[in-house]
Amino acid sequence: MLFRSGRFLFSRLLLLISFISGISFCLSQSLQIKNMEQFYLSNKLRVVLLHEKNYPLVRMRIVIFTGEASSFSGMEGLATLTARCFFKGSASFPEEHLFRLLSYQGCKISVEVKEEKTTFSVTIPKENFERFLIILEDLLLRNTFPENALNEERNALIRELRNRKDNPPHYTFAFFYKNLFQKSPYTKIFFTEESLRKITSHYNLAFLKRYYIPNNSAFIIQGDFEVNNLKSLLEKRFAKWVEKRLFYPYIPPLSPPKTNIISILNSPLSEDYFLMGYLFRTSSIEERANILLFNEILGGSEFSRLTLKLKETLGYCRYIGSGVQFLKNDGFLFVAGHCKSEKIREIISNILTEIKNLKEKRIEEKELKSSKDYLIGEIAVRISDPEILLSSLEEALLYNFSLDYLDKLIKGIENCTSENILIIANKYFKMDSNFIVITGRKVHIVDSLSKDFEKIEIYNRINYSWEKEKGERNN
């Protein structure tokens, strides 16, 4: 998972994670597309086809249901480096020719690696699609991971890591995420220079052979194809790409902290960054819908409670909002902000008050309806983007939901009542199990919060790591 630097990085971070939940809505709308079909090849590869008649291009998502959580121990970054080097060379298409060949074919490729999946997004003229499949088969079966390309990509990743090390939004989120998930393999998304330097072509190939297999993958294809013709083409081309036994890392069950924890990253900043979050585990479609609506009411948009009060009315925050991230085994709701240092106590207090209100008071029908309308209105905007449509299909496949899941999700949002919000708030969001990270000057933060919280931990930066101060503050 990579983060860009820039003036608005923190708000982009929130929007990026919130977008994950928004993606789900798009797929529900996609069910209304009558030209979508799915099938399996004999090697257990799942294929989803969106038939677009007279469409001159092919949009393809090659999805591997493995991400950084599966990187080998001590080699965090292996999933990312493997993906970034995947299209660099194979036995039949050596490095010096492959880039030129793909360029001549008009092929555009991008890659994204998350905790639990790797995605290659491909756009190519239809007349070159079959030739692209020949290349893809060779890369899957006879990839060479050329040493020159591996070194170039490793050095590029290291430069990106170094550029982010002094970025407060990045290291605030990294600290929050690592401590929220503790020993979970999910934390491997924050790899290091040291772990990257251990990776050789041998390990890239071992990772590919273990996880880049048809029964752990899916093709999502948008173009002018008939199902039988496409299936015949793929069966012929990938006959030698065979299913294997899967090995997934163990994801331990996580539980929220038993008391509120404040972690202060002592930094000489004029304004504070903060993140606070709750862990939860849910598999119910209805509960997912209710959590998404809870998030929208709390701080999911510019019209939500926290934004209107703490940014627009009181002016305490330069930016504030909430978001939800669903993972396969766990999920978390978070509130993030960029705020005035002298107002941090009031801000944390107001956030907890709003959550308490949602746990104790029935939301008025007018506010509930406007929140539903806003979420559903986002669908119409997002569904018009083909890339978002394909991304949303990935999410459904990752969570092993049938395609009608998304219809049910929308219906869950539409049918959610004030009582449902009370139930979900009391089930998952406790007043005494917050994990809160604040980056700023410790002297201001400790004095401000010491009367309200039992446990405050202070961390000082030594080189690029955070070391806990001796003498934990228990009030």
Q: Would the pLDDT of 448 be above 90?
A: no
Cα angle 226, 232, 236 (rounded to 5 degrees) comes to 145
Poorest-pLDDT segment among 15-19, 206-210, 329-333, 372-376 = 15-19
Give CA 195 to chain center in angstroms.
22
By three-state DSSP, how is residue 231 classified?
A: helix
Average pLDDT over residues 227-234: 96
Query: Which tens digit of pLDDT belongs to each residue from 25-68?
Result: 333 343 455 688 999 999 999 999 999 999 999 999 999 999 99
**Do the bridges between strand 261-266 and strand 435-440 make them parallel or antiparallel, or are there none, so unpaired?**
parallel
Rounded Cα–Cα distance for residues 5 and 65 (Å) = 28
Please tell me whether residues 192 and 287 are part of one structural domain: no
Please tell me whether residues 115 and 230 are part of one structural domain: yes
Please tell me whether residues 159 and 63 are part of one structural domain: yes
98-102, 255-259, 398-402 — which one is most confidently predicted on average?
98-102
Poorest-pLDDT segment among 86-95, 222-231, 458-467 = 458-467
Q: Would the pLDDT of 437 be above 90?
A: yes
Q: Which two tokens stand for residue 302?
A: 């510019």
Poorest-pLDDT segment among 77-86, 203-212, 423-432 = 423-432
Q: Could you tell me if 69 and 116 are in contact, meaning their C-beta atoms sit under 8 angstroms apart?
A: yes
Q: Would the pLDDT of 406 be above 90?
A: no
Residue span of the structural domain in which 101 resides: 33-237
Please tell me whether residues 88 and 229 are part of one structural domain: yes
* pLDDT score recorded for residue 34: 66
User: Does any domain span residue 249?
Assistant: no
User: Does any domain span residue 243?
Assistant: no
pLDDT > 70 fraction of the chain, expressed in percent and rounded: 90
Produce one character per residue of 319-339: b if its CB has 16 or more CB atoms within 10 Å, e if not: bbbbbbbbbbbbbbbbbbbbb
Average pLDDT over residues 339-347: 91
Structural domain total, the chain: 2
Please tell me whether residues 388 and 451 are part of one structural domain: yes
Please tell me whether residues 300 and 374 are part of one structural domain: yes
* pLDDT score recorded for residue 444: 82
Residue partners of 220: CB distance under 8 A and separation at least 6? 47, 48, 50, 60, 61, 63, 390, 393, 394, 397
By three-state DSSP, how is residue 101 classified?
A: helix
User: Does any domain span residue 308?
Assistant: yes
Give the count of alpha carbons within 13 A of 159, CB side only. Answer: 6
Rounded Cα–Cα distance for residues 126 and 45 (Å) = 21
Residue 160, phi-psi category: left (phi > 0), alpha (psi -120 to 50), beta (remainder): alpha
Average pLDDT over residues 72-82: 96
Q: Is the pLDDT higher at 381 or at 355?
A: 355
Q: Would the pLDDT of 24 be above 70?
A: no
* pLDDT score recorded for residue 348: 94
Please tell me whether residues 233 and 268 are part of one structural domain: no
pTM of the model: 0.88
Q: 408: pLDDT confidence band, cut at 50, 70 and 90?
A: confident
Q: Is the pLDDT higher at 79 or at 30?
A: 79
Residue partners of 218: CB distance under 8 A and separation at least 6? 45, 46, 47, 48, 61, 63, 65, 394, 397
Rounded Cα–Cα distance for residues 85 and 68 (Å) = 15
List for the chain the helix, strand, coil content (%; round to 5): 50, 20, 30
Please tell me whether residues 188 and 294 are part of one structural domain: no
* pLDDT score recorded for residue 471: 62
Rounded Cα–Cα distance for residues 390 and 27 (Å) = 8
Average pLDDT over residues 132-147: 97
* pLDDT score recorded for residue 20: 35
Rounded Cα–Cα distance for residues 435 and 453 (Å) = 11
Q: Is the pLDDT higher at 462 or at 283?
A: 462
Q: 383: pLDDT confidence band, cut at 50, 70 and 90?
A: low
* pLDDT score recorded for residue 452: 84
Q: Could you tell me if 83 and 118 are in contact, meaning their C-beta atoms sit under 8 angstroms apart?
A: yes
User: Does any domain span residue 19?
Assistant: no
Please tell me whether residues 74 and 208 are part of one structural domain: yes
Average pLDDT over residues 183-206: 95
Query: Which tens digit of pLDDT belongs to each residue from 265-317?
Result: 999 988 899 999 988 887 788 898 999 999 999 999 999 999 999 999 999 99
User: Does any domain span residue 20?
Assistant: no
Please tell me whether residues 315 and 381 are part of one structural domain: yes
| CATH number of residue 417's parent domain | 3.30.830.10
Rounded Cα–Cα distance for residues 86 and 429 (Å) = 41
Phi, psi of 58 (to 5 degrees): -120, 125
pLDDT > 90 fraction of the chain, expressed in percent and rounded: 65
* pLDDT score recorded for residue 100: 94
Mean pLDDT, the chain, integer? 88
* pLDDT score recorded for residue 101: 95
Q: Which two tokens stand for residue 344?
A: 């941090």
Query: Which tens digit of pLDDT belongs to each residue from 211-226?
Result: 999 999 999 999 999 9
By three-state DSSP, how is residue 394 classified?
A: helix
Give CA 222 to chain center in angstroms.
23
Please tell me whether residues 410 and 466 are part of one structural domain: yes
User: Does any domain span residue 407?
Assistant: yes
